[in-house]
Structure 1
């Protein structure tokens, strides 16, 4: 099975789309597939990281750069949809694929029509928005609030919808560690906080979190682990800030053992993106800040399930910092931590990539 991925990372887009596609690619490769990534050459792209990890990669030129606002999805790739489709189709003609996986908010049915007409590949769309038409016969949306009704007007009537956290694309290390970690959650107290505001953290929410923690009276032995990607623009400033704090703060970059860091942590303060499901698999209690508008529904759903505390939306102003301080006082109660852990662990088992790989393989075998 030959699988191509059209997905981007940048300072505006972040790294999450590429990382979840890489998770699926690794699962496919473990079952004999050959995978190839097609990404735009944008500032903050993960091309070097992918190549260092042995990924076959084509970088598309992006002449318009990465000047788009985060919600201007149509310009995320730096190309018009037609130019992007032409360049992608050209690459797929050089390296034919049985499957094309598209994880990109800036691409829709018109792009898909142009590329699929030229290649004939089966198409899996990965989406979180349910806001535009698609032609792909398979669509994955891991959001906890998603139903088929959300996509009824946007996909063909025979589209196979893979909806909900059971299809969240998480590395197998999380599910493999799950049975060992969950029993330990019953007796935790607030000592070790893991801060994960995304690989890029362009608005530098991490700095505001550290400052908030530094103003609080913290329990003895309290310490923080802060995780960022190597392309994070505020990395050096955060390293300098960490030296000034009243508590130990260990900054880790481009980690490969996030599952172990989550297992050791008593609480996470993080964005409400894909990492939220990794935290759920390991029952890690979370205070979540929505850094993009499309994260808000998931954050609300997790809070309603008693699986996390939503701090609000970053773009709404600094009120979330006060909510963070209040929430930190609340989770100092071990019973609150244990309840959050129990509720979050019930939402996701971490085996989504296994399920998706099986569906993709079965679709080829029956076609």
Structure 2
């Protein structure tokens, strides 16, 4: 079968949508299918990751999420004789999807988190958040007036294949505080977080991972050398580091699913409104806390929480157990199986 992904990335929007699409694409490739990525905007480091795979890349000559974008994407999908078009991004609103579904003539899978952008105009919706079933998706109203299938909940979380193979250490053997603020660190939290950790006297092993489009990664590297922290830049996957991580300080983006699967308790910084509901729901499950990264004191309060948790073995074990119960890691397989059955 042939699958076309329509997804974008940028310094401002980050790379989470791109990376979860790549996780599903890898699963489809492993099953012998053909995959293409179509984009209007991306980040060179993310494009490089796609180029390392047998995936065709197409750049659109249109501004992202415009009517021209939708029509050009539809034409490309028809030319590629695709079986499914997979769409992921908050900027693709209902009017875009309507034009796209009509112009492409193939089935559309919408990857969504919030159900806040109007009628679906899709044949299937994938929402892997823990609150997905509360969002009242309509099962009708796509472009062809046929039922919309719903793939909802954490059983459909799209994790990279590497996570299935890694051996997770017991809490007593875990050594790192994992620090990461996404593919771009659009809010610029990394350097400030490290300075606060040092100021408050945190002298444990810290592993700082900067994403592929984090512009200040050389400054982070310099600061890590001064403080005696480990710095890694543009890792293909985080699984081996997370397997050795005792606790995490991160943005409340898609990394929270990876942390939950690996049983790493976390303190999250919310850096955009679309992260709030997820952060609140995950905190209610008892494995993490969140603070507002846009508030002047939010980061300092988060770092203080990290220090308070670090030596509480019982608390960390309880939170790690809660985290592991949320996600089984087979979401990409389930989505691929659904797409294959829908020939």
TM-score in same-fold range (> 0.5):
yes
User: Aligned to 2:23, what secondary structure does the other structure show?
Assistant: helix
What is the match of residue 275 of structure 1?
255
What is the match of residue 226 of structure 1?
208
User: Aligned to 2:184, what secondary structure does the other structure show?
Assistant: coil
Could you say if the C-alpha distance between residues 254 and 43 of structure 1 is closer, same or farther in structure 2, counting changes exceeding 3 Å?
closer
Distance in 2 (CA, whole Å) between partners of 1:228 and 1:55 is 25
What is the match of residue 322 of structure 1?
301
Residue from 293, 298, 302 that aligns with 2:282: 302
Q: Could you tell me how far 1:148 is from its partner in structure 2?
A: 5.4
The root-mean-square deviation of aligned C-alpha atoms, in Å, is 2.1
Residue from 332, 356, 360 that aligns with 2:311: 332
With normalisation by structure 2, the TM-score equals 0.92
- The list of structure 1 runs, each at least 4 consecutive aligned residues, that deviate by more than 6 angstroms after superposition, is none
Retained in 2: the 8 A contact 1:196–1:270? yes
Could you say if the C-alpha distance between residues 238 and 151 of structure 1 is closer, same or farther in structure 2, counting changes exceeding 3 Å?
same
CA deviations on 1:191-246 (whole Å, 9 max, x unpaired) are 41111210100221111211121022335xx121111223211112212222332x
Q: Is 2:199 the counterpart of 1:215?
A: yes
Q: Could you tell me how far 1:328 is from its partner in structure 2?
A: 2.1
Paired residues for 1:59-208 under 5 Å: 59-61=59-61, 78-79=63-64, 81-132=66-117, 133-147=119-133, 149-152=135-138, 156=142, 158-177=147-166, 180-181=167-168, 184-185=170-171, 187=172, 191-208=175-192
Could you say if the C-alpha distance between residues 340 and 148 of structure 1 is closer, same or farther in structure 2, counting changes exceeding 3 Å?
closer
Stretch deviating more after TM superposition (199-208 or 152-161): 152-161
Could you say if the C-alpha distance between residues 12 and 257 of structure 1 is closer, same or farther in structure 2, counting changes exceeding 3 Å?
closer
Distance in 1 (CA, whole Å) between partners of 2:173 and 2:301 is 24
Distance in 1 (CA, whole Å) between partners of 2:113 and 2:65 is 22
Retained in 1: the 8 A contact 2:293–2:299? yes
What is the match of residue 349 of structure 1?
328
Distance in 1 (CA, whole Å) between partners of 2:156 and 2:50 is 23
Distance in 1 (CA, whole Å) between partners of 2:29 and 2:184 is 27
Distance in 1 (CA, whole Å) between partners of 2:114 and 2:330 is 22
Q: Which runs of 5+ in 2 are unaligned?
A: none
What is the match of residue 31 of structure 1?
31
Q: Could you tell me how far 1:267 is from its partner in structure 2?
A: 1.0
CA deviations on 1:307-361 (whole Å, 9 max, x unpaired) are 1121x22223333312421342133211111111000000001110010001111
Could you say if the C-alpha distance between residues 33 and 240 of structure 1 is closer, same or farther in structure 2, counting changes exceeding 3 Å?
same
Retained in 1: the 8 A contact 2:268–2:302? no
Stretch deviating more after TM superposition (162-171 or 78-87): 78-87
Distance in 2 (CA, whole Å) between partners of 1:166 and 1:300 is 19
Retained in 1: the 8 A contact 2:111–2:126? yes
Retained in 2: the 8 A contact 1:202–1:234? no
Distance in 2 (CA, whole Å) between partners of 1:174 and 1:48 is 21
Residue from 242, 250, 256 that aligns with 2:224: 242
Q: Could you tell me how far 1:149 is from its partner in structure 2?
A: 4.2
What is the match of residue 74 of structure 1?
none
Retained in 1: the 8 A contact 2:164–2:329? yes
With normalisation by structure 1, the TM-score equals 0.86
Residue from 275, 293, 298 that aligns with 2:273: 293
CA deviations on 1:65-108 (whole Å, 9 max, x unpaired) are xxxxxxxxxxxxx4452011122123223322110000011113
Q: Which runs of 5+ in 1 are unaligned?
A: 63-77
Retained in 1: the 8 A contact 2:176–2:207? yes
Number of aligned positions between the proteins? 339
Could you say if the C-alpha distance between residues 294 and 27 of structure 1 is closer, same or farther in structure 2, counting changes exceeding 3 Å?
same
Could you say if the C-alpha distance between residues 33 and 53 of structure 1 is closer, same or farther in structure 2, counting changes exceeding 3 Å?
closer
